[in-house]
């Protein structure tokens, strides 16, 4: 060669050589090999990788994102191994190759590889068929979560190894976060289900419908609840309530309220007496106490329909829809629970003729907001209910749910519960 050298331009390092072409003294060719250093270009790549990994909380999606990040930028293919538990065996959960036609063959080759023998503390390289493999452990918060295996036909440079280790650390943290989130969401869904009625009883002469929709993030426990249960011979109880706030603290008050209602009802306490004792139980929780609005009542089948005694403790008023389409409020507003020590509740008694409907909702319906307007402004809920004459209880509940959803474009920021009782 006539001359050679190294030239730096921005974030690039260029190795070049100038050669005289054979058979000619005049034509000169140039060859060079360019290596990009870890400058702004690679920093942008790592930032994009971090955004992609942080963009999902689904643990099943993280391995796919890892492979899509490194192929073909750092390697020709990528396999991600994870374990279901800390002591469980590693298994291949995702495999990607720049040439999709080679994925099945590569999978067979990897099936013969013992990944458990790969180091779990530092990156290591070895050969597999026609590829050099770089195994990067996925470790987060001191726990090994799996291994990321990268393969390419040529040698891994020190720079690529460092980048792969950097991505491995970010991928491991994203995997750990996604798993924690999924476990918390599953636990809270189980907690939420435990706060709802275990079964729907058969009540003579009663047709009922319920809707329950928690709002917010999937890992939040809603503060709304409802219940319908048998309290004695020929007597059933119902309740619909709203605990202030969400999360475990609200769930604790919800559980306290639901179990107290059932226990005292079966002990023979009337609806007003039950609410008085529940109020004291909530106040005794001290700093853990939460305000609670509650509509609680009993149902007694009679020859002409249903006899209902109910108490509204700070809850949105219950509405009765007559068979002729007339809607009227049937509850007297009284103090919500968990505020005052000395409070006496009084029950209202109403009658539901055959075909009459009693509607009870939480403020996720009445306070559904569209701009500066609420759904229940100017009797909006009563007008909506008046259009439900002749419908079954389930159809009424669904009509109210759909009306609340259609009232505003934005998703609801509050839990929603609807309880409809209809005398057959």
Specify the CATH number for the domain of residue 358.
3.60.40.10
Give ∠ CA 316-318-320 in degrees, rounded to 5: 155
pTM over 0.75: no
Whether 230 and 379 share a structural domain: yes
3-state DSSP assignment of residue 401: helix
Task: Describe the strand order of the beta sheet including 28-36 as a list of residue ranges.
Answer: 3-9, 12-20, 28-36
What value does the mean pLDDT take over residues 285-289?
Answer: 78
Whether 87 and 17 share a structural domain: no
Q: How far, in Å, CA of 299 to CA of 276, rounded? A: 19
315-355 tens-digit pLDDT: 999 999 998 999 999 999 999 999 998 899 999 999 999 99
- Position 37 pLDDT exceeds 50: no
Whether 20 and 47 share a structural domain: no
Least Cα distance to 282 among 326, 327, 341, 365 occurs for 341
Q: Which residue has the higher pLDDT, 19 or 179?
A: 179
Q: How far, in Å, CA of 339 to CA of 383, rounded? A: 32
3-state DSSP assignment of residue 12: strand
What value does the mean pLDDT take over residues 49-54?
Answer: 84
Residue with tokens 């190759």: 97
Whether 356 and 389 share a structural domain: yes
Burial of 214 (0-12, 13-18, 19+ CB in 10 A): buried
Mean pLDDT for the chain overall: 86
Burial of 355 (0-12, 13-18, 19+ CB in 10 A): middle
What value does the mean pLDDT take over residues 390-398?
Answer: 95
Residue after which a domain boundary falls, among 130, 157, 190:
190
- Position 39 pLDDT exceeds 60: no
Q: Under 8 Å CB-to-CB from 342, ≥6 apart: which residues? A: none
What range does the domain containing 20 cover?
3-36
How many of the other CB atoms lie within 10 Å of CB of 76? 21
Whether 22 and 145 share a structural domain: no
Q: How far, in Å, CA of 245 to CA of 259, rounded? A: 19
Whether 52 and 167 share a structural domain: yes
Least confident stretch, 30-44, 216-230, 289-303:
30-44
Q: What is the DSSP letter of 360?
A: E
Compute and round to an integer the Cα radius of gyration of the chain.
33
Whether 174 and 207 share a structural domain: no
For the record, the structure tokens of 318 come out as: 């219950």
Least Cα distance to 418 among 240, 257, 229, 291 occurs for 240
Whether 184 and 128 share a structural domain: yes
Q: Provide the domain count of the chain.
A: 3
| Secondary structure, 3-state, 178-191 | HHHHHHHHHHHHHH
Question: pLDDT band for position 286 (50/70/90)?
Answer: confident
Q: Which residue has the higher pLDDT, 43 or 71?
A: 71
Question: pLDDT band for position 264 (50/70/90)?
Answer: very high
Whether 25 and 44 share a structural domain: no
Contact 42, 157 (CB under 8 A): no
3-state DSSP assignment of residue 416: strand
Residue after which a domain boundary falls, among 190, 213, 242:
190
For the record, the structure tokens of 250 come out as: 């609200």
Residue after which a domain boundary falls, among 169, 190, 211:
190
Whether 70 and 87 share a structural domain: yes
Whether 126 and 232 share a structural domain: no
Least Cα distance to 367 among 409, 419, 404, 325 occurs for 404
- Position 188 pLDDT exceeds 80: no
Whether 308 and 417 share a structural domain: yes
CATH number of the domain that residue 87 is part of: 3.30.450.40
pLDDT value at position 51? 84
């Amino acid at each position: 060669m006539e001359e050679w050298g190294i030239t730096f331009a921005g974030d690039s390092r260029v190795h070049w050589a100038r050669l005289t072409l054979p058979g000619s003294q005049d034509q000169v060719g140039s060859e060079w090999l360019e290596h990009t250093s870890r400058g702004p270009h690679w920093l942008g790549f790592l930032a994009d990788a971090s955004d992609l990994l942080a963009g999902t909380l689904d643990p099943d999606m993280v391995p796919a994102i890892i492979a899509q990040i490194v192929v073909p930028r750092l390697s020709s293919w990528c396999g991600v191994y994870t374990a279901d538990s800390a002591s469980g065996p590693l298994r291949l959960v995702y495999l990607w190759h720049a040439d999709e036609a080679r994925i099945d063959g590569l999978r067979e080759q990897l099936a013969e590889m013992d990944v458990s023998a790969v180091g779990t503390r530092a990156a290591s390289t070895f050969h597999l068929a026609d590829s050099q493999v770089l195994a990067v452990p996925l470790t987060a918060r001191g726990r090994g979560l799996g291994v990321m295996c990268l393969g390419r036909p040529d040698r891994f440079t020190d720079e690529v190894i460092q980048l792969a280790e950097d991505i491995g650390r970010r991928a491991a943290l994203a995997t750990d976060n996604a798993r924690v989130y999924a476990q918390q969401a599953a636990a809270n869904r189980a907690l939420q289900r435990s706060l709802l009625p275990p079964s729907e009883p058969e009540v003579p002469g009663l047709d009922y419908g319920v809707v329950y929709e928690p709002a917010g993030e999937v890992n939040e426990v809603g503060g709304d609840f409802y219940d319908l249960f048998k309290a004695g011979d020929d007597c059933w109880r119902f309740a619909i309530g709203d605990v202030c706030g969400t999360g475990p603290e609200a769930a604790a008050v919800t559980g306290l309220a639901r179990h107290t209602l059932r226990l005292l009802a079966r002990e023979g306490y009337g609806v007003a007496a039950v609410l008085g004792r529940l109020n004291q139980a909530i106040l005794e929780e001290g700093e853990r106490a939460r305000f609670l609005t509650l509509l609680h009542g009993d149902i007694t089948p009679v020859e002409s329909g249903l006899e209902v005694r109910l108490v509204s403790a700070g809850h949105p008023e219950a509405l009765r829809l007559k068979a002729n389409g007339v809607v009227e409020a049937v509850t007297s507003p009284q103090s919500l629970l968990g505020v005052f020590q000395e409070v006496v509740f009084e029950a209202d008694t109403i009658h539901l003729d055959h075909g009459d409907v009693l509607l009870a909702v939480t403020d996720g319906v009445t306070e559904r907001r569209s701009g500066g307007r609420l759904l229940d402004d100017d009797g909006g809920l009563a007008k909506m209910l008046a259009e439900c004459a002749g419908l079954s209880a389930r159809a009424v509940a669904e009509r109210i749910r759909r009306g609340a959803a259609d009232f505003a474009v934005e998703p609801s920021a509050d839990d929603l519960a609807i309880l409809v009782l209809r005398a057959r």
